[in-house]
Structure 1
Amino acid sequence: MADVADKLRRLRIDSAAMRRPAAAPEPVPATRRRVPGAAVAAAMMVLAAAGAGFAAGRAGERSQVAAAPPVVVAPTPTAPVASVVAAGHVVARRQATIAAPVTGRIDHVEVEEGQRIAAGTVIARIDDAAAAAQVDDAAASLRAAHAEIDRLAARRREAAATQLRFDTLDARGFARGADVARAAADVAAIDAELVRARALVDVGAAGLAGARVTLSRMVIRAPFSGVVTRLSAQPGEIISPVSGGGGFTRTGICTIVDMDSLEVEVDVSEAQIAAIRPGQGAAISLDAYPDRPYAGRVLAVVPIADRARATFRVRVGFDRIDARLMPEMAARIAFQDGART
């Protein structure tokens, strides 16, 4: 308890100390008050000198920039930008399915698929026994017509001699008028037969020429140079220029494609066709060779729209054709903004 009372006495507030006036603050010496003003002035002088140096440096730079000659930058050519992109396929402008102009049985087929052939190459031969017999018959008829002319010419010479004799006798008064008239009639009749015989010779010559043409048609030849892409008939089959005989008669022997006539056909929508014109440049990309682009140009815009698809067909030619190009390849065309020069 004594300890608690002692602690309470220590906590007592001294009222006398509260009534004493507070001590005045210690005065600051005059030298200590002047030091900050001098430091500030020195700092301002340093900053002014630095500012003057910076301004002088900037002025020098501006004078150097003003004195430097102007630099002319040449415009960099940019690649043409694709305006329209369309998809299509490689097609051959010149291709044909070769058929026989006559009906007959195929004896030989001289070509194979993938074979490159020249114009005039024999593709197939048709059984020509009947055609050869017709040629022989026409030739014999022509020879008979010539023989008839020879016979009539001999008769006319004889009739002319008889007529001359009767005319001589008639001039002397020793011939009857009937005999003279008969001799003249014989000569005229033979002349008419000669006219007919000469016409028969012409008919025989024409028949022989026709038979030879028919015989020549038994040999089927290539109309132009190209590659055989499809073989449709084999030896022993019947070929005909018209469809007939159900599924046992062929109408074509093979298909030939001129690889030098390859181009790309694409469909361009009606909304974009105004941006396409002949001669316009195009970049051709094939799905088979995506890393090998081809340069090309617009050959033509076919002037008729597809009503169902609302598109126009556009033909695009290759600037250069190589052996990689084949018909029916898928292709994408990027038409350029500017026309090719």
Structure 2
Amino acid sequence: MSLLRTAGYCCSVFLLAVQLGGCGNGGNAAQAKETKTDAVTAVPVEVAKASRGQITASYSGTATLSPDHDAQVAAKTGGVLKKLYVEEGMTVKEGQLLAELEDATQRSQLAQAEAQMRKSDATFAYAQQSIAKQLIPKRDFDQAKFDMENLRAAYESARLQLAYTRILAPIDGVIAERSVKLGNLIQTNQALFRIVGMNSLQAVLNVPERQLGILKPGQPVDLEADALPGRKFTGNILRIAPVVDAASGTFRVTCEFHDKTGALKPGMFGRVEIVYDQRADALTVPRSALIEEDGETAVFVVEPGKPKPADADKAGADAKAKPDTSVADAKKADAAKPAAPSLVAHRKLVKVGYSDGDKVEVRSGLDEGTQVITIGRNAVRDGTAVLILNGDKDKVLADKAVAGAKG
């Protein structure tokens, strides 16, 4: 009988130990789960500081360079092309001989017209003498005068046709294109050459109408051509169209560039930047920090959060669940608990000014050094706990907040 009682007592002690061990493990699991939940609620973000520096206000656009003047040289008379004096790429002056056509026909026509003109001149001279002596009626005199004038005009026309067999440059420039070869039969009005002026090149921008009162003729502009990477060319605004295109809401701005090196060529595509203002000490933030909603501009700033108050009831329940835990162990466990969320996001309205690449000027609503969220702002709301990810230097604010919470 005594043996049975001893065995039952041992079984009871074993079961009680198992139950107590299970309660202890459950408490630790609940505590770990709570700690993990608190960590998950902090949204990871990246931040940048509002800082002061120079910002440039400018308008940028793309355009194709075109010559300031462009001439298509066409034949004014027909004939076989017998001589060529220029090739593509050659620089020519106004009036320079470019090519010649066969002129035998034109010379024959000129000789015939000259003979007929001389005959009419002689007839008219005789008519003048006769009318003075009243030997012929006035009608015959008038007819002789009209014939003379008509044949003189025919002579001038034949002389011009002969002159047109010599193709001359109408402007200064460079031969951009030669459309004919030696021996070709040239027709009247057929294109022969294309000459472009290289003294200055122009780029035409279609600028939004909100810039109409800002841009002025004479303002400096910069050009970067895709074909010449790393090189920047300076020019100025030549003229501004006085009207806005109603269909597109833009106006034409013509920029002019003088490149003495000859590197710029007509037809090149490039980006034109017009700088119209500069601020040496502007407060700026990255463009990625801005939020545009309902006609307002805002940013999320990161600030220290308020410490989370202790839960007295939960502490009492934990004490009852673990009656054998000493007071010293309880204090040690409380000290090991993670601090309350140390950083929170707050939404602030700002007024922005100029923008320059990735930088945007902030004219009101922020102080220098304020941390603004650049990545992750779409996942936070006003008061959301956040965790800064980008670099140790950005954790200084978090460390200060934790120290303040412990104090």
- The secondary structure found in structure 1 opposite 2:224 is strand
- Per the alignment, residue 23 of structure 1 pairs with none
CA gap of 1:107–1:80, structure 2 versus 1, over 3 A, is farther
Deviation (angstroms), 1:82: 4.1
Is 1:261 aligned to residue 204 of structure 2?
no
- Per the alignment, residue 81 of structure 2 pairs with 106
Is 1:92 aligned to residue 67 of structure 2?
yes
Residue type matched to 1:105 in 2?
V
Structure 2 counterparts to residues 195-206 of structure 1, below 5 A: 195-206=142-153
- Considering fraction of residues, name the structure with more strand: 2
Q: Distance in 2 between matches of 1:240 and 1:333?
A: 42
Residue type matched to 2:151 in 1?
G
- The secondary structure found in structure 2 opposite 1:141 is helix
- 8 Å CA contact 2:58, 2:277 repeated in 1: no
- Per the alignment, residue 116 of structure 2 pairs with 141
- 8 Å CA contact 1:99, 1:253 repeated in 2: yes
Q: Which moved more, 1:284-293 or 1:211-220?
A: 284-293
- Per the alignment, residue 361 of structure 2 pairs with none
Which among 138, 154, 165 is matched to residue 207 of structure 1? 154
Gap regions ≥5 residues in structure 2: 1-52, 279-407
Is 1:316 aligned to residue 255 of structure 2?
yes
Deviations 1:230-267 (A, max 9, x none): 1111233343455xxxxxxxx31111011013122233
- 8 Å CA contact 1:227, 1:256 repeated in 2: yes
Residue type matched to 1:301 in 2?
I
Deviation (angstroms), 1:271: 5.4
- 8 Å CA contact 2:238, 2:256 repeated in 1: yes
Deviations 1:124-171 (A, max 9, x none): 2223222222211111102222333466678789xx6xxxxxxxxxxx
Deviation (angstroms), 1:123: 1.6
- 8 Å CA contact 2:71, 2:171 repeated in 1: no
- 8 Å CA contact 2:130, 2:136 repeated in 1: no
CA gap of 1:80–1:98, structure 2 versus 1, over 3 A, is farther
Is 1:285 aligned to residue 224 of structure 2?
yes
CA gap of 1:188–1:330, structure 2 versus 1, over 3 A, is same
| Greater C-alpha radius of gyration | 1
Q: Distance in 2 between matches of 1:88 and 1:110?
A: 34
Q: In the comparison of the two structures, how many residue pairs are matched? A: 225
CA gap of 1:79–1:332, structure 2 versus 1, over 3 A, is farther
Is 1:128 aligned to residue 67 of structure 2?
no
- Per the alignment, residue 326 of structure 1 pairs with 265
Q: Distance in 2 between matches of 1:125 and 1:306?
A: 49
Q: Distance in 1 between matches of 2:205 and 2:192?
A: 30
- 8 Å CA contact 1:89, 1:266 repeated in 2: no
Q: Which moved more, 1:221-230 or 1:286-295?
A: 286-295
Structure 2 counterparts to residues 1-341 of structure 1, below 5 A: 81-149=56-124, 187-189=134-136, 193-241=140-188, 251-270=190-209, 272=211, 275-302=214-241, 303-305=243-245, 307=247, 311-318=250-257, 321-338=260-277
Deviation (angstroms), 1:210: 1.7
Deviations 1:31-65 (A, max 9, x none): xxxxxxxxxxxxxxxxxxxxxxxxxxxxxxxxxxx
Q: Which moved more, 1:316-325 or 1:113-122?
A: 316-325
Q: Distance in 1 between matches of 2:156 and 2:269?
A: 49
Residue type matched to 2:56 in 1?
V
Q: Distance in 1 between matches of 2:218 and 2:251?
A: 17
Q: Distance in 2 between matches of 1:149 and 1:300?
A: 58
Q: Distance in 1 between matches of 2:245 and 2:269?
A: 22
Residue type matched to 1:96 in 2?
A
Q: Distance in 1 between matches of 2:173 and 2:84?
A: 17
- 8 Å CA contact 2:70, 2:195 repeated in 1: yes
Gap regions ≥5 residues in structure 1: 1-77, 161-186, 243-250
CA gap of 1:238–1:273, structure 2 versus 1, over 3 A, is farther
Q: Distance in 2 between matches of 1:156 and 1:315?
A: 66
- The secondary structure found in structure 2 opposite 1:188 is coil
Identity across matched positions, percent: 26
CA gap of 1:147–1:272, structure 2 versus 1, over 3 A, is closer
Q: Distance in 2 between matches of 1:152 and 1:91?
A: 60
Q: Which moved more, 1:145-154 or 1:120-129?
A: 145-154
- The secondary structure found in structure 1 opposite 2:228 is coil
- The secondary structure found in structure 1 opposite 2:65 is strand
